[in-house]
């Protein structure tokens, strides 16, 4: 999505850096939903800037003059979160020496940002659902209902749908929160924004601490933008400030940059990236996965060729190939059964010694030569042909008999014959048995 004047105005007002399409789209959704009272669920990885979007929604809404409070649900102990959110009465539990108002009461007319909503206990989720549905809540230890008019913006870095399936998050609350979803893209998907943010962080830190800002070489820029940043913007800011403070040279080279980037996080799948030669390119995890699967498929095919050749050459018992004949159908069908270093089965020697090859000046004596001079030599070449024809004829008859027995149902006929259905199909084509049906 393009950077419209309205989006740019919001960026300037709230200090948002970057022009990535995913970022612009998320900002556009936030701008549109802000004037309403709809509940918003912001999703994204930790450190990607979800809280900034909650402030944008509050700042552009009619509630902007009301209170805004951000609560990390994962940082509040399970035993006290109900009291923090909904308040408690005196004597409700040990240590409750006075009545206390909760955040939903003190923020009436404003906005509550519930960060890490997926960490909220299930019992508290039921109380929150009641607030979202009718604006009512009951303080801990009280039996009196109270009303509140609070807009809820929630955020999570976990898959709530999966949490619903596991039973750790209420399904009805999930759909109530997810009225308008906003997905904040991770830093690694924002391209040139990484460099813009780095410059912003180093400049601000240098100005604040009265030191000279740093500059990046072209190679250092590539190293920076190829880093995956699992900690997102928070991690980038820490690295930028470390480099600005600790690096003695103000011109940052690739070697200098690499010292501050954890090697274990240099890429999501480092071994695969280097294997496929894309260390300096913008390659997605999906592309890498496709390449891995393609390579695995090639390896499996080569392995099948090797096993098939060994079976055909007699190095392995033929019982295996007879029992799993359909496993090698694709190899036999293509005729490509050989590896670069392995001869075809037809090229294999059936004897432990090499075939005799006559020299050019030698006379080769054949069975035909002997026929005319020796009476005790019989011509048996025709017997091989008759035997071959007999075998084909018998195979044809057996297959036809099995098909007729099973009313030409190939599945059952193949079972009777002890071969795969695919092998039977090829035999039917070979002997034109379909015409005899």
User: Among 122, 2, 117, 16, which Cα is nearest to 60's?
Assistant: 16
Q: Quick check: pTM over 0.95? A: no
What is the pLDDT at residue 205?
A: 96
What is the pLDDT at residue 311?
A: 65
Establish if 357 belongs to a structural domain: no
322 and 271 part of one domain: no
238 and 193 part of one domain: yes
pLDDT tens digits, 221-245:
999 999 999 999 999 999 999 999 9
20 and 116 part of one domain: yes
Q: What are the C-alpha distances in Å from 31 to residues 24, 34, 45, 180? A: 10, 5, 21, 12
What is the pLDDT at residue 406?
A: 83
What is the pLDDT at residue 284?
A: 52
- Of the candidates 254, 276, 298, which is a domain's last residue? 276
What is the pLDDT at residue 36?
A: 96
- The CATH number of whichever domain residue 47 belongs to comes to 3.40.50.300
Establish if 18 belongs to a structural domain: yes
72 and 126 part of one domain: yes
13 and 123 part of one domain: yes
Which 3-state string (H, E, C) describes the chain?
Answer: CCCCHHHHHHHHHHCCCCCCHHHHHHHHHHHHHCCCCCCEEEECCCCCCHHHHHHHHHHCCCCCCCCEEEEEHHHCCCCCHHHHHHCECCCCCCCCCCCECCHHHHCCCCEEEEECHHHCCHHHHHHHHHHHHHCEECCECCCCCEECCCEEEEEECCCHHHHHHHCCCCHHHHHHHCCEEEECCCHHHCCCHHHHHHHHHHHHHHHHHCCCCCEECHHHHHHHHHCCCCCHHHHHHHHHHHHHHHCCCCEECHHHHHHCCCHHHCCCCHHHHHHHCCCCCCCCHHHHHHHHHHHHHHHHHHHHHHHHHHHHCCCCCHHHHHHCHHHHHHHHHHCCCCCCCCCCHHHCCCCCCCCCCCCCCCCCCCHHHHHHHCCCCCCCHHHHHHHHHHHHHHHHHHHHHHHHHCCCCHHHHHHHHCCCHHHHHHHHHHCCHHHHC
- The CATH number of whichever domain residue 262 belongs to comes to 1.10.8.60
What is the pLDDT at residue 384?
A: 44
pLDDT tens digits, 284-307:
555 666 666 766 776 677 677 767
- The CATH number of whichever domain residue 432 belongs to comes to 1.10.10
What is the pLDDT at residue 388?
A: 45
Establish if 38 belongs to a structural domain: yes
Establish if 354 belongs to a structural domain: no
44 and 154 part of one domain: yes
40 and 132 part of one domain: yes
Q: Which domain holds residue 248?
A: 189-276
What is the pLDDT at residue 178?
A: 93
Number of structural domains, the chain?
A: 4
pLDDT < 50 positions in the chain: 268-283, 339-389, 435, 437
210 and 261 part of one domain: yes
What is the pLDDT at residue 176?
A: 95
């Amino acid at each position: 999505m393009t950077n419209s004047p309205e989006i740019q105005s919001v960026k300037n007002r709230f200090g948002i850096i970057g022009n990535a399409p995913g970022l612009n789209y998320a900002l556009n959704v936030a701008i549109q939903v802000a004037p309403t009272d709809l509940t918003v669920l912001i999703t994204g990885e930790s450190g990607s800037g979800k809280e900034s979007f909650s402030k944008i929604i509050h700042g552009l809404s009619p509630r902007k003059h009301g209170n805004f409070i951000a609560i990390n649900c994962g940082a509040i102990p399970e035993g006290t979160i109900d009291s923090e959110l909904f308040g408690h009465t005196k004597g409700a539990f040990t240590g409750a020496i006075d009545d206390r108002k909760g955040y939903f009461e003190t923020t009436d007319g404003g906005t509550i940002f519930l960060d890490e909503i997926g960490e909220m206990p299930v019992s508290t989720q039921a109380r929150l659902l009641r607030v979202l549905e009718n604006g009512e809540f009951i303080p801990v230890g009280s039996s009196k209902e109270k009303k509140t008019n609070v807009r809820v913006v929630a955020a999570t870095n976990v898959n709530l749908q999966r949490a619903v399936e596991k039973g750790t998050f209420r399904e009805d609350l999930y759909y109530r929160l997810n009225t308008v979803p906003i997905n904040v893209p991770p830093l690694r998907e924002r391209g040139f924004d990484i460099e813009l943010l780095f410059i912003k962080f180093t400049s601000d830190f240098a100005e604040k601490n009265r030191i000279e800002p740093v500059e990046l070489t072209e190679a250092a820029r590539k190293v920076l933008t190829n880093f995956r940043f699992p900690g997102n913007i928070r991690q980038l800011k820490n690295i930028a400030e470390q480099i600005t403070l600790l690096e003695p040279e103000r011109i940052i080279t690739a070697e200098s940059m690499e010292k501050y980037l954890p090697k274990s996080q240099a890429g999501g799948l480092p071994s695969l990236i280097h294997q496929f030669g894309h260390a300096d390119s913008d390659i997605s995890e999906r592309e890498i996965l496709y390449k891995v699967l393609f390579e695995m498929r090639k390896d499996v095919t080569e392995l099948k060729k090797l096993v098939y050749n060994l079976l055909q050459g007699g190095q392995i018992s033929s019982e295996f190939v007879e029992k799993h004949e359909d496993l090698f159908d694709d190899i036999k069908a293509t005729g490509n059964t050989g590896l670069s270093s392995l001869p075809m089965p037809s090229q294999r020697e059936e004897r432990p010694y090499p075939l005799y090859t006559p020299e050019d000046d030698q006379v080769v004596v054949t069975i035909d030569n002997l026929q005319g001079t020796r009476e005790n030599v019989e011509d048996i070449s025709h017997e091989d042909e008759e035997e071959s024809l007999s075998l084909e004829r018998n195979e044809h008859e057996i297959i036809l008999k099995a098909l007729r027995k099973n009313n030409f149902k190939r599945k059952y006929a193949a079972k009777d014959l002890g071969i795969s259905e695919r092998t039977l199909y090829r035999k039917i084509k070979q002997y034109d048995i379909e015409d005899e049906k």
